[in-house]
């Protein structure tokens, strides 16, 4: 762990406090502006319009290409420039928004600050790739127990970071309603034909997404020791999953339509720089576990390659909202228990020469822990729908029903450091019946 840093104070009203969006955070988003979007950065309950600030000359001390990148509708151009672009940008924004900024600067910046509740926030990245890993060994083991009680973990698990290629076109900003998908399901009751109907076994998966920076050329793997600087930031991700569609289609090639109907990504990207104080040692491997192959092994990564991010899942239903209840907590996990680190995912993804591109999304897979209450999806919590959970308001759920709204929240805290809150990732299920 790094030494605690003095919490930074900002002159922006309401920016200093325990809300997790202080000057030490500064996540990036994009705000709808006429028929396009302006990149922006969040401070407390305010949003700084980066596009307008750059146009006004407030970013003039940065390289021209960085100023131009700030005037694009998505972060991809900035990400392509690499950390030598986004580190000075963050330093400048921190200085501009800091308490000791000059009066003249504050007056100029004030023009470009808006209340977040007055802005329509959209996804600040246009991912061309989305890969979903399976990095939680506790998730892998608990899911494995449901289907292969004798050998829950497959023999490859501790050697290779398992993943599938997801669908970037259906990655949507958190807050977007999620349509219950129709799909083929296993024939039941002696039927000859499979069904084709709205998925009955709709589930969520609580995950952390890593957003890639410059990426790599096709044919040039990223070494594990360099992988960290290739990751720009993180956001919460909900990998919605239709278990009944998935169960019928996944053999032999893996998930397809059971997952590609929607993936919700929180629209504020937290830069890795804001998470430095919350780096922790990678999960220790058991003595009996195999050592990772050399291309997945790095001392620095073992020492601080994991992140201490608590993740909570809350649910609200039509009934709970009608009763005026706040969203109800159903599970809570932490990314520090993952078996594979972000650097290992990047190194593995590119180890065959595959190219990662700016804005690509690499997700951890469901974040679960050893305890049942830290299970990050209903598949685990309800043992594949056979043991429904009772919600705090008395309702039962085996799977999600229409009108259910799932909220993922992420939180980092540590003594002596201002906390960082990951923007919530919200999605409500609607039916197309």
**Which of the residues are catalytic?**
139
Q: Which is nearer to Ca ion, 239 or 308 (CB)?
A: 239
By beta-carbon proximity to Ca ion, the closer residue of 162 and 343 is: 162
Rounded to the nearest whole angstrom, what is the least distance from the CB of residue 157 to Ca ion in the complex? 15
Give the separation between CA 359 and CA 212, rounded to whole angstroms. 5
SS3 content of the chain, % helix, strand, coil (to 5): 25, 25, 45
Q: Which range binds Ca ion by CB under 5 A, 45-53, 73-81, 129-137, 226-234?
A: 129-137
10 Å Cβ neighbour count for 190? Answer: 5
- Scanning 81-89, 91-99, 124-132, 145-153 for contacts with Ca ion by CB under 5 A, the matching segment is 124-132
The span from the CA of 182 to the CA of 196, in Å, is 7
Residue of minimal Cβ distance to Ca ion: 239
**Pairing mode, strands 178-179 and 417-430:** parallel
| Candidate residues 49, 132, 249, 405; the one interacting with Ca ion per rule CB under 5 A | 132
The SS3 of residue 68 is: helix
Q: Which H, E and C letters describe 298-356, residue by residue?
A: CHHHHHHCEECCEEEEEEECHHHHHCCCCCEEEEEEEHHHCCCCHHHHHHHHHCCCCCC
Binding to Ca ion (CB under 5 A) within 340-379 occurs at: 365
Of the chain, the end-to-end C-alpha distance in Å amounts to 52
CB of 280 to Ca ion, least distance (A): 23
Kindly report the length of the chain: 433
Nearest to Ca ion of 143, 222 (CB atom): 143
Number of residues that bind Ca ion (CB under 5 A): 4
Stretch that binds Ca ion, among 128-136, 225-233, 302-310, 420-428 (CB under 5 A): 128-136
User: Between residues 53 and 379, which has the closer beta carbon with respect to Ca ion?
Assistant: 379
Angle at which helix 103-110 crosses helix 83-97, to 10 degrees, equals 110
| Closest distance of CB 239 from Ca ion, Å | 4
Site residues for Ca ion, 54-93, by CB under 5 A, read none
CB nearer to Ca ion: pick between 49 and 205: 205
Residue 239 binds Ca ion (CB under 5 A): yes
- Dihedral, CA atoms, 407, 413, 419, 420, nearest 10 degrees? -40
Coil, strand or helix at 140: helix
Shortest Å, Cβ 385 to Ca ion: 17
| 308-343 core/surface letters (b: 16 or more CB in 10 A; e: else) | bbbbbbbbbbeebeeeeeebbebbbbbbbbbbbbbb
Q: Is 203 in the site for Ca ion (CB under 5 A)?
A: no
Select 239 or 298, whichever has its Cβ closest to Ca ion. Answer: 239
Least CB distance from residue 377 to Ca ion, whole Å? 8
Of 266 and 317, nearer to Ca ion (C-beta) is 266
Position 380 contacts Ca ion (CB under 5 A): no
- Shortest Cβ distance from residue 363 to Ca ion (Å)? 6
Question: What is d(CA 268, CA 238) in angstroms, rounded to the nearest whole number?
Answer: 14
Part of the chain binding Ca ion (CB under 5 A), chosen from 3-11, 118-126, 233-241, 334-342: 233-241
Stretch that binds Ca ion, among 45-53, 197-205, 282-290, 307-315 (CB under 5 A): 197-205
Binds Ca ion by CB under 5 A, chosen from 138, 205, 249, 405: 205
Inter-residue contact 365 to 132 (CB < 8 Å): yes
H helices within 254-296, ranges in order? 272-275
CB of 77 to Ca ion, least distance (A): 29
Q: Which residues bind Ca ion (CB under 5 A)?
A: 132, 205, 239, 365
């Amino acid at each position: 762990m790094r030494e605690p840093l003095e919490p930074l104070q900002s002159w922006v009203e309401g920016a200093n406090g325990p809300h997790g969006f202080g000057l030490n955070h500064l996540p990036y988003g994009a705000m709808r502006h006429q028929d396009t979007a302006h990149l922006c950065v969040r401070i407390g309950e305010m949003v700084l319009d980066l596009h307008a600030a750059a146009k006004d000359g407030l970013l003039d001390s940065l390289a021209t290409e960085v100023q131009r990148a700030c005037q694009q509708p998505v972060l991809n151009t900035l990400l392509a420039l690499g950390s030598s672009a986004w580190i000075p940008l963050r330093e400048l924004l921190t200085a501009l928004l800091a308490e000791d900024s000059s009066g003249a600067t504050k007056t100029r910046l004030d023009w470009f600050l808006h209340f977040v509740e007055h802005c329509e926030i959209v996804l600040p990245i246009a991912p061309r790739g989305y890969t979903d890993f399976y990095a939680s060994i506790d998730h892998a083991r608990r899911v494995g127990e449901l289907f292969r009680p004798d050998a829950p973990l497959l023999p490859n698990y501790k050697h290779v970071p398992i993943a599938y290629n997801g669908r970037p076109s259906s990655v949507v900003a958190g807050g977007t309603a999620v349509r219950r998908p129709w799909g083929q399901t296993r024939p039941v009751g002696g039927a000859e034909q499979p069904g084709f109907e709205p998925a009955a076994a709709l589930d969520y998966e609580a995950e952390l997404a890593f957003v890639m920076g410059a990426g790599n050329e096709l044919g040039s793997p990223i070494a594990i020791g360099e992988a960290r600087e290739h990751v720009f930031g993180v956001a919460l991700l909900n990998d919605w999953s239709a278990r009944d569609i998935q169960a019928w289609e996944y053999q032999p090639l893996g998930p397809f339509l059971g997952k590609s109907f929607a993936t919700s990504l929180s629209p504020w990207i937290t830069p890795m720089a804001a998470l430095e104080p919350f780096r922790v040692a990678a999960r220790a491997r058991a003595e009996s576990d195999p050592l990772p192959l050399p291309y997945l092994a790095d001392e620095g990564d073992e020492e601080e390659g994991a992140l201490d991010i608590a993740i909570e899942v809350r649910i609200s239903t039509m009934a709970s909202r009608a009763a005026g209840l706040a969203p109800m907590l159903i599970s809570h996990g932490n990314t520090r228990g993952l078996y594979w680190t972000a650097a290992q995912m990047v190194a593995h993804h590119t180890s065959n020469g595959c190219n990662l591109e700016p804005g690509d999304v690499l997700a951890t897979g469901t974040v679960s822990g050893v305890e049942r209450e830290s299970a990050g999806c209903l598949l685990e919590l309800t043992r594949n729908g056979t043991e429904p959970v009772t919600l705090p308001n008395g309702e039962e759920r085996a799977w999600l029903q229409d009108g259910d709204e799932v909220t993922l929240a992420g939180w980092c805290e540590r003594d002596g450091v201002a906390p960082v809150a990951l923007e919530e990732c919200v999605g409500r299920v609607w039916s197309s019946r």
